[in-house]
Amino acid sequence: MLSTQLSYGIDIVLNSKKWCAIIPIKTNSRKLLLTTRRWHTNTLNSNPLGVYDIASYARNYGYKVDVYYIDKIPLTNKYDIIGLSVFESENNFVFEDIRFLQSAFPQTKLVVGGRWTKHIDEETKHWFMQNDVELWTEEGEKYFNQNQEIDYENYPGWYKKDLLTTHANGRNVMSSRGCPFHCYFCHNPEKQIFNFNSRYTADNIQLLLEQNVNEIFFVDDIFTLKESHMLDIYYDLKKRYLNILGRNLFFTHVNLVNESKAEVMKKFKPSEVQIGLESGDDRMLSLIGKSFNTNKAYEKVKLLSNFVPVNGLFLIGYPGETLESLNNTLSFVQNLNPFLSKKWVSLYQPIKNTVGYFKSLTEGKFYGELTNNSTVHYVPEGLLAEDLLRYRDLIMQT
């Protein structure tokens, strides 16, 4: 039995952009197990949203689907296919998980997919071939049908069965996929935006509320990209008498804040709106890949705070950070503080195959393995780990 102390993020079985219409192309009775590791921290539980999506999709092709976390799989069950989802690029458990699944289900075809598969090297690909594991690097839905587009207007919602077998207690939903921005610390491979239909989102929120979830977190990279999308969800929830007012939160972006969108955000009565400000130093904002400066960020937060509570998100310790830029960020936060309901400071964690990761290989020093964004994993040239921790505390306490 695998340890229940599962600490790294694995999320989407087979990441997706394109999908066929939900009418089944063929029927079969093949049994499919979708599995992943639980992603949790001391303060956050996250349901495997992408796994739920793929499970619903596969059922429309006639598959009989079970969804379990890898340490909770009933070993007496029989399956024709097992799909292992691997999300994080820094994953030291995937080969252990593969060996476990091959040992527990020696006659079952094993397919490994997810965001992790998009960044593996040739040596790892060769290992998969030698060990009779199918590596799936394309969109998850294409595993079932490679010839049709995803119809997001008819995308099927989650099944209650899957929430029960995973003992879902996370608050997360996604109403869209992709991000139009290109931050150098981010590893989101989906740059094109796809909006799910509002029915899908409302269905999933209803399921979570039935599981006694107290708060809904729209974890779209940018929930506020389109006013019409937000309004469709708002009115669909209202029509069903699903009340999440005062108990929801979501992300926005500095470049998307205006009075019209802020009015729509206000309709949701969010407990907070998170906005990535990252730094109070214009040079660092440019190095990170942000397309705004501190003056714009200040004005947008000031405007937004008139409508909703604002949680400012900051990132320190990216390659190129200096004591001067840290001081500038501290001063910026002190000036911005009247307009923030709360703030969070992350220490930069280099994610493989990002611009920041390659930059960090030649500048600065790594410390141990990735754990969480409040511990030091990387220190830029000219700084000490103590500098990052001290400024994090100063900014958080401002």
pLDDT of residue 323: 98
191 vs 113 pLDDT, higher one: 113
CA-nearest of 146, 255, 161 to 210 is 161
Distance, CA of 18 to CA of 15 (rounded, Å) = 10
pLDDT at 197: 92
Q: How confident is the model at residue 103 (pLDDT cuts 50, 70, 90)?
A: very high
pLDDT-derived band at 244, boundaries 50, 70, 90: very high
* pTM over cut 0.75: yes
For 31-143, which CATH class?
alpha beta
Q: Indicate the helix (H) or strand (E) that contains 392.
A: helix 385-397
Q: Does residue 168 have a pLDDT over 70?
A: yes
DSSP annotation of 351: P
Q: What rounded mean pLDDT belongs to the chain? A: 87
SS3 content of the chain, % helix, strand, coil (to 5): 35, 15, 45
The answer for residues whose C-beta is within 8 angstroms of residue 168's C-beta and 6 or more apart is: 47, 162, 208, 211
pLDDT at 189: 58
Greater pLDDT, 148 or 345: 345
Calpha distance 369→83 (Å, rounded): 27
Mean pLDDT (whole number) for 285-299 = 96
Strand-pair category, 45-46 with 39-40 = antiparallel
Compute the distance between CA of residue 135 and CA of residue 84 in angstroms, rounded to an integer: 10
Edge-to-edge strand list for the sheet holding 310-316? 172-173, 216-218, 248-252, 272-278, 310-316, 342-347
Residue 39, classed as helix, strand or coil, is: strand
Res. 388: pLDDT tops 80: yes
- The pLDDT > 90 percentage for the chain reads 64
Q: How many CB atoms lie within 10 A of CB 279?
A: 24
What pLDDT does residue 187 have? 67
Annotated domain spans of the chain: 31-143, 171-397
Top pLDDT among 107 and 7 is at 107
Q: Which two tokens stand for residue 7?
A: 């600490």
Q: Coil, helix or strand for 179?
A: coil
Nearest to 65 by CA among 31, 41, 113, 98: 31
Predicted confidence at residue 199, as pLDDT, reads 95
Give CA torsion, residues 187, 192, 198, 201, to 10 deg. -20
Average pLDDT over residues 149-157: 86
- Band (pLDDT 50/70/90 cuts) for residue 7 is very low
For 7-11, 223-227, 277-281, 357-361, which range has the lowest pLDDT when averaged over its residues? Answer: 7-11
The neighbour count for residue 153, using CB atoms within 10 Å, is 13
CATH, domain range 171-397: 3.80.30.20
Mean pLDDT of 183-212: 85
The Cα angle at residue 309 between residues 333 and 391, in degrees rounded to 5: 25
Residue 133 backbone zone (phi > 0: left; psi -120 to 50: alpha; other: beta): beta
Confidence of residue 190 (pLDDT cuts 50, 70, 90): low
Give the residue-averaged pLDDT of 142-152.
81
pLDDT, mean of residues 120-128: 86
Q: Is it true that 31-143 and 171-397 share their CATH fold?
A: no
- The identity of residue 356, as a single letter, is G
**What pLDDT is stored for residue 86 in this prediction?**
87
Q: Which residue has the higher pLDDT, 38 or 30?
A: 30
Looking at residue 381, what DSSP letter applies? T
**Selection from 15, 78, 4 nearest residue 50 by Cα:** 15
Question: In sequence order, which residues have a C-beta less than 8 Å from that of residue 72 and are 6 or more positions away?
Answer: 165, 166
d(CA 352, CA 339): 35
Confidence of residue 40 (pLDDT cuts 50, 70, 90): low
